[in-house]
Amino acid sequence: MPEGDTIFRAARTLNEALAGRTVTHFESVFSRISRANDHFTIPGRTIERVDARGKHLLIWFSGDLVLRTHMRMHGVWHLYRRGTRWRRPHSDLRLVIGTAEYEAVAFNVPVAELIHAGELERSPLLQNLGPDILAEEFDAAEAAQRIAVTPEIDIAEALLNQQALAGIGNIFKCEALYASGLDPFTRVADLSREDIVRVVEKARRLMRASVAGRRMAFSVYGRGGRPCRRCGTTIARRKYGDEARVTYWCPRCQERRVAAKVRTV
Domain boundaries, the chain: 4-127, 140-249
Fold that domain 140-249 belongs to in CATH = Helicase, Ruva Protein; domain 3 (1.10.8)
Return the H-helix or E-strand segment holding 170: helix 170-180
Contact of 252 with 182, CB cutoff 8 Å? no
Contact of 158 with 205, CB cutoff 8 Å? no
Please report, rounded to a whole number, the percentage of residues in the chain having pLDDT higher than 90: 81
Does residue 17 carry a pLDDT above 80?
A: yes
Active site residue 131: no
Residue 240 is given by DSSP the state: E
Contact of 133 with 207, CB cutoff 8 Å? yes
Residue 90 is given by DSSP the state: G
Q: Which of 27-31, 72-76, 152-156, 260-264 has the lowest mean pLDDT?
A: 260-264
Active site residue 245: yes
Active site residue 3: yes
Fold that domain 4-127 belongs to in CATH = N-terminal domain of MutM-like DNA repair proteins (3.20.190)
Q: Give me the catalytic one of 2, 48, 53, 184.
A: 2
pLDDT at 215: 83
Residues β-bridged to residue 115 = 66
Q: Give me the catalytic one of 68, 187, 223, 245.
A: 245
> Among candidates 132, 61, 67, 137, which has minimal Cα distance to 95?
67
Does residue 79 carry a pLDDT above 90?
A: yes
Q: Give me the catalytic one of 48, 53, 55, 146.
A: 55
| pLDDT band of 1, cuts 50, 70, 90 | low
| pLDDT band of 261, cuts 50, 70, 90 | very low
